[in-house]
Structure 1
Amino acid sequence: MAKLQYPLILDELKTTLSNVKDEDVENFEQAVKDAKHIFVAGKGRSGFVANGFTMRLNQLEQPAFIIGGITTPSIHEGDLFIVISGSGSTEHLRLLAEKAKGEGAKVALITTQPDSKIG
């Protein structure tokens, strides 16, 4: 049986969270509260996180949609598009973010690379 990696995982989480600024969390929280509709996207493992986060937002009575869903409406001004991307450089997500901004929606990026193409 492989050695448990919990200490490594906890250290990585601790390191990641130590780099999150309180102001960024507060701004993100306010953007979620203010949004008419919330749209979420990610690819790969980030896509799994995006799906779970979208479900949780709906459980909290925030109207949220996963990009690409068959019942996902169009994005408009006053909406929020949340991109979840570890690298912050997934081309498809970058194009979606540009489209959302072009429609007047706010865009938030959850990433470990804030200076990336999407960032």
Structure 2
Amino acid sequence: MTTTERDRRIDNIEFNVADIARSKAFYGAAFDWQFTDYGPAYTEFSDGRLTGGFTTGEAVRPGGPLVILYADDLAQAQRRLEAAGAVITRAVFAFPGGRRFHFQDPDGYELAVWSDQAH
């Protein structure tokens, strides 16, 4: 049996959302994500490295695994998120290897942003 580079790696993350346009506006403003629409109930997002999707096909289910994004400049990432309407749920804190904070998106999903940089 052979394996590929994608074997046992995160390949996609899907969010059930209440409003696709709102989610696109939020993540586009905060992280410059790009989007491809596949009908009225599904939009693929890409951050340039990882893809996922927003769908209205099921009920919003906040919670689940914590998705952690990386930022070279943690303070700038927090400012962009707050400007996009995020609620910061856990202030910046240090952990072995870096610092991070948690935020909540418009549908109640909690995500985190971390950095190994000093700022």
TM normalised by structure 2 equals 0.31
Higher strand share: 2
Higher helix share: 1
